[in-house]
Structure 1
Amino acid sequence: MIPPKPRARSDRVSLWRYVRLFRQDILSAQPARLYRAWMAEFRTPFFRSYLVNQPDLVRLVLKDRPQDFPKSDRIGEGLRPLLGNSVFLTNGATWQRQRRIIDPAFEGGRLRDTYGQMWAAACAARDRLAARAGEEVEIEEVTSHAAADVIFRTLFSIPIEDSIASAVFHEFRAYQRTQPILNLAAFVPLPSWMPRFFRRDTRAAAARIRGLITQLTERRMAEIAAGTAPDDLATKIMTTADPETGDRFSTEEMVDQVAIFFLAGHETSASALAWALYLMALYPDWQDRVASEAQALSRGDFAEAAKLKISRDVFRETLRLYPPVPMMVRETSCPERFRDRDVPRGAQVVLSPWHLHRHERLWDNPDGFDPARWASENGRTCARDAFIPFSAGARVCTGAGFAMVEGTLLLSLLLRDLRVAPAEGRVPEPVAHLTVRARDGIALRITRR
């Protein structure tokens, strides 16, 4: 049995047909040859883009010379109304300053400090889902709720039931269906006169979300000033000074960062966990192995997380098949030469975890679900050369370790006490919204173990 993926298009389509397909979904618009090509050039009278799958070129862009391939400003055309000047969008000295302030909050022992809040959110999610045993459940809604609870508990020490946290969550649920992580202008640089295909209400929804986040940030600023702030991620970031300048984030800067923490720490985790649960429904033998391993979970002790090896491999395989962020865009700052082709300055370089993780010339059984692959020679090689769910190099997601612990814990604790099965006649179709989601949701039947 092969997990679902979008049907690839024929290798040749007209520009205008491609634009129409892209507006429907970025994944199904791509030609089948991208799953076996080392590089593809998209050339029209208006633009050139280069999708890169060859591991040494991916390494060059992300690890060897990241300063020569900054993030494309075109990404901000769609996301800047929500994310402002956040670390996800900035480059150069601004980005370096932001990372110097943010990174200490996610180092070593801080992950141990957040584990208790993750455990509390996981238990709450299990209890909510257990109350619906015997029902058919839209699981993306459940995982979105659980991931939002994790981020609010670890960032601001408040549960999802907090009035502002709840309002942010519900606004974001509506927003994420209106805005793709990559708009057409990001993937194929359109001339300035061509429309960007944004929904009218996207900017207004982003403003509402930012207004709510501003309330949380100002409230925490006041608590810090009064000496009553809890020792959580928000307090750590707000009180950390740039070691080079001594500056701290202003309220507006912190709102930008909280917006991306919520996107990266909630939306991506919700996507990955939903697909992981669906895969467990498709493969009940692996589900039982995860559930059996999870019997060791008992007290929310961080030391238990190291024992979740099967769950970790299942979650990693989910990230391979359904990377939450399917494509990333960089821009050349100087002329390059890739595979005997001249790549001009200002060209878009597209790195696609979606295609790289399923590349037919790199992976054994690329479209199959096989958590055991990570112990094989091919799996270990590809893990190093062709697996970038959190990006790689200097711009690797600062919360990558956080996300792996969160995903394996939630998956383990839910399946320890509950069983999931596919809803009859419902096969989800992956599409790219803010992250890789199912076009019509993921329906699972829930029972108690």
Structure 2
Amino acid sequence: MNIASVRRPIIPPTPPRAPDNMSLFGRIAVIKQNMIATWGQRAYEEEVIQGRFFLHKSFILNQPDAIRHVLLSNYQNYTRTPAGIRMLRPVLGEGLLLAEGHAWTFQRRTLSPAFTPRATANLVPHMTAVLDETIAKLEARTSEPVDLREIMQRMTLEIAGRTMFSFGMDQHGPTLRNFVMEYGERLGRAHFLDMVLPVSWPTPMDRARARFRKRWVEFVAMLIAERRAVGKKDGAPPRDLFDLMDEARDPETSKGFSDGQLVDEVATMILAGHETTATALFWALYLLALDPDTQEEVASETRGEHLDSMADIDRQKFTRAVIDETMRLYPPAFLVARAARDKDIVAGAEVSKGDIIMIAPWLLHRHEKLWDQPNAFIPKRFMSKEPPDRFAYLPFGAGPRVCIGAPFAQAESVLALARLIGAFRIELADATPVIPFGVVTTQPDHSPMFRITRR
């Protein structure tokens, strides 16, 4: 019998669970530091938890049928909460992630051709070129501890830059990373007034976010101007995402994006395309460092593979399962919060206008009624003949607003993990447990150091 099939799976560290009787104001105080730490044991056991959020009811949904109703069957009845809009609008503007109604329909229709599997396949050479460079740089650092989180951020940013603009991010990468860090550490945390005031009532933090947005929009517009200066030969096929987005037209109206809209779409794709993928890859490397046997299975699968095409990526079944299991344990978007536009019935409960619906992939993916050994790292659960319920596993959302870039992110993650583990054996150089915390995305509380050795 295969030893790997009977060995005890690892259970990575998590923050302590909150007391189930924690007060509303106690939870609000914790939210600013780590949203994940606000949930108690009940949230991991019960299908629906009803509470109150000031003047409105709140619901935590862990029931797939109820989630299907909110995200698919009646999705038009639910919009982002004021806090959600405040956290995302300064960096994403009115791009696809935040757009509503006709604006969202137009953007989704117009962008869809740029994110088909065929379009993604054409971008794989950009990914492999950056991976070749990253591996070459890591080969020179096998004698010293390395910060793989920072390296993943630099690598995925470089991939985002090349797939978006066909140029490297050596010059602009540090500025972009500074924008991301400034926002996440200072402005991307929800404060009390962010959660209770309507979006039309600016909070003190909103003013700071507005100043940030002005600088951020100028930076993205400058990147677009540099890319346009390079130009494109008439009649030549698109060479990057910018070509595809700049030339995109709504199939019904033939309209394209204005310059302002293009800035928001580019900002959305760059941020979503590098920060969440970098974080997912960091967590995958951390888990594989904790679990050397599983790491060796990934290395064994990649051995002898060229890994430079979508066909090669599609053959990495176990590596894909490792990525899927990583995003189950550490979902990039740990919380989806929606406010009801009108009354509804969800899981037998009456929902009124303004009530808050919370679908937390962090909870859903670790729910004790939905998963066997929910806190354990078991990639092979995703190689079963019976996949998890579509609305019990939401790393990219679900329904009409499912992440448009999911095929791109999955291809990049599988390719990067396979190439990195195929090249290096990875161990932790730091024994301090890494605790996840939720601020915009599921981040580590610190960046551990790793040791890498060439295979």
User: TM (normalized to structure 2)?
Assistant: 0.91
Which residue, 428, 434, 442 being the options, matches 1:428? 434
Q: Secondary structure at the match of 1:385?
A: coil
Q: Secondary structure at the match of 2:125?
A: helix
Residue 214 of structure 1 pairs with residue 221 of structure 2: yes
Which residue matches 1:60?
69
Which residue matches 2:261?
253
Q: Secondary structure at the match of 1:10?
A: coil
Which residue matches 2:23?
14
Q: 1:318 to 1:34 in 2, by over 3 A?
A: same
Shift of 1:265: 0.6
Which residue matches 2:273?
265
Which residue matches 2:392?
386
Residue 113 of structure 1 pairs with residue 119 of structure 2: no
Counterpart of 1:439, as a letter, is: D
Which residue matches 2:84?
75
Q: 1:184 to 1:259 in 2, by over 3 A?
A: farther
Q: 1:181 to 1:229 in 2, by over 3 A?
A: farther
Which residue matches 1:313?
321
Deviation readout 1:265-322 (Å, 9 max, x if unpaired): 1111011000000000000011111112112332623321122111100000000000
Q: Is the 8 A contact 2:86 2:199 kept in 1?
A: no
Q: 1:415 to 1:210 in 2, by over 3 A?
A: same
Q: Is the 8 A contact 1:320 1:387 kept in 2?
A: yes
Q: Is the 8 A contact 2:82 2:199 kept in 1?
A: no
Shift of 1:444: 1.9
Which residue, 34, 39, 51 being the options, matches 1:25? 34
Q: 1:101 to 1:339 in 2, by over 3 A?
A: closer
User: TM (normalized to structure 1)?
Assistant: 0.92
Q: Single out whichever of 99-108 and 72-81 deviates more from structure 2.
A: 72-81
Q: Secondary structure at the match of 1:256?
A: helix
Which residue matches 1:355?
363
* TM alignment of 1:146-295, pairs within 5 A: 146-161=155-170, 163-180=171-188, 189=196, 198=205, 202-224=209-231, 227=234, 231-295=239-303
* Distance (whole Å) between structure 2 residues aligned to residue 15 and residue 192 of structure 1: 21
Q: Secondary structure at the match of 2:245?
A: helix
Unaligned 5+ runs, structure 1: none
Which residue matches 1:4?
13
Shift of 1:199: 8.9
Which residue matches 2:110?
101
Q: Secondary structure at the match of 2:59?
A: strand
Q: 1:331 to 1:282 in 2, by over 3 A?
A: same
Shift of 1:183: 6.2
Which residue matches 2:3?
none
Unaligned 5+ runs, structure 2: 1-9
Which residue matches 1:415?
421
Q: Secondary structure at the match of 1:24?
A: coil
Q: Is the 8 A contact 1:47 1:190 kept in 2?
A: no
Residue 130 of structure 1 pairs with residue 139 of structure 2: yes
Q: What value does the CA root-mean-square deviation take over the aligned residues? A: 2.4
Q: Is the 8 A contact 1:3 1:279 kept in 2?
A: yes
Shift of 1:15: 2.0
Q: 1:192 to 1:213 in 2, by over 3 A?
A: closer
Q: 1:235 to 1:23 in 2, by over 3 A?
A: same
Deviation readout 1:182-239 (Å, 9 max, x if unpaired): 66677x6457899968498554444333222101222334555874896211111111
Q: Secondary structure at the match of 2:334?
A: coil
Which residue, 361, 368, 379 being the options, matches 2:376? 368
* TM alignment of 1:294-305, pairs within 5 A: 294-298=302-306, 300-305=308-313
Counterpart of 2:271, as a letter, is: L
Residue 139 of structure 1 pairs with residue 145 of structure 2: no
* Distance (whole Å) between structure 1 residues aligned to residue 305 and residue 207 of structure 2: 47
Counterpart of 1:208, as a letter, is: R
Residue 330 of structure 1 pairs with residue 333 of structure 2: no
Q: Is the 8 A contact 1:172 1:209 kept in 2?
A: no
Q: Secondary structure at the match of 1:324?
A: coil
* Distance (whole Å) between structure 2 residues aligned to residue 441 and residue 185 of structure 1: 31
Q: Is the 8 A contact 1:78 1:182 kept in 2?
A: yes
* Distance (whole Å) between structure 1 residues aligned to residue 434 and residue 115 of structure 2: 34
Counterpart of 2:421, as a letter, is: L
Q: Secondary structure at the match of 1:420?
A: strand
Count of equivalent residues: 445
* Distance (whole Å) between structure 2 residues aligned to residue 338 and residue 57 of structure 1: 6
Shift of 1:404: 0.7
Counterpart of 2:222, as a letter, is: Q
Q: Is the 8 A contact 1:82 1:209 kept in 2?
A: yes
